[in-house]
Amino acid sequence: MSYRDEGKGSYNWQNGEKRYYTLNQHFRDFFGDKVFKVSLDAGFTCPNRDGRVGQGGCIYCSARGSGDFAGQVDQSIHDQFRVVKEVMSHKWSQAKYLAYFQAYTNTYAPVERLRAVYEQALQEEGVVGLSIATRPDCLPEEVLDYLAELNERTYLWVELGLQSIHDRTMAWVGRGHTYEDFLLGLEKLRQRNIRVCAHLIYGLPGETIEDMFDSAQAVTKLDLQGLKLHLLHVLRGTPMAKLYEDNPFPMLTQEEYIQLICNTLEILPAQMVIHRLTGDAPRQDLIAPLWSLKKWEILNGIDQELERRGTWQGKKL
């Protein structure tokens, strides 16, 4: 089977562990085994940190470029992988691994450097593919050609930051790119048949629940294979934290978030892989919302609400 094939047959949520198509279920469908993502920090930066499009990064982004749970950047890729793998292997000794380049923008470097770190990760024992987090404005042709090459010989996801379809929000949080930029980046990747997972953040200041749902509705019309949904976290040391402390803005409640997630799942294509429904934040850095620390309570609440409604992913598409 080609690494670009999407499995044998169509997905039915009744055959899975949830009422939505989890990444874990997708891995089991594709590989026939448990697969873990091993988060790595290859020491990249971002164009809205180094001055190309801005300084300081997105106002919500942590000092580690959303890689708070990735390996330590002062260690080699091999050593980072070994440390994380040792922790995971206590629970799943026979699992496979996906090397996840998570921190900062992981295509924002000369292709020779990208090749060096990606190929190192692929050589690690048990690694069956790559997941690469990046921005839609950091996909030059030579990088796209290399990603297309990787896509032919290994299992590959490219995670593409969107966060919101509303350009006013994108500008306010300092993303440094527009929705049109996202659409162009997505088109370039899909022309090469590369799987793409988009990221959305719910709870960004200035957006109503209707605005957030508009982003979800837009995603349903795009050629996306995966979606990662995040709750906004206000983290210490970020520009967002200063704004929140000076003038606290309203944040989603747990109930509002659960309802919004369930509304979103109902309109997503049934075959779209759900990579995440809520994010993690370092406990010592989280200012708000503190209810987000109860991750399993949130996920259980989503399951219970879907069951209460008698609904599932794609029911209202």
Whole-number Å distance between alpha carbons of 44 and 106: 6
pLDDT score, position 7 = 43
pLDDT score, position 147 = 98
Whole-number Å distance between alpha carbons of 67 and 44: 11
Whole-number Å distance between alpha carbons of 42 and 219: 29
**3-48 per-position pLDDT tens digit:** 444 443 345 555 667 999 999 999 999 999 899 999 999 999 888 8
pLDDT score, position 1 = 36
Which CA distances in Å does 179 have to 59, 72, 162, 235, 240? 18, 32, 7, 25, 22
**194-215 per-position pLDDT tens digit:** 999 999 999 999 999 999 999 9
| Fold of domain 23-309 | TIM Barrel (3.20.20)
Cβ atoms of 316 and 266 closer than 8 Å: yes
Residues in the chain, total? 317
Cβ atoms of 265 and 310 closer than 8 Å: no
- Provide the H-helix boundaries in the chain: 23-31, 77-89, 111-122, 141-153, 167-172, 179-191, 209-220, 239-246, 254-267, 295-309
Task: Report the greatest alpha carbon distance in the chain.
Answer: 55
**168-186 per-position pLDDT tens digit:** 999 999 898 999 999 999 9
pLDDT at 2 over 60: no
**Cα radius of gyration rounded to whole Å, the chain:** 19
Which CA distances in Å does 148 have to 156, 184, 241, 247? 9, 16, 39, 46
Question: Of the candidates 60, 64, 63, which has an alpha carbon nearest to the alpha carbon of residue 242?
Answer: 60
Report which secondary-structure segment, H or E, holds 160: strand 155-163
Q: Could you give phi then psi for residue 148, rounded to 5 degrees?
A: -65, -40
Mean pLDDT of 112-140: 96
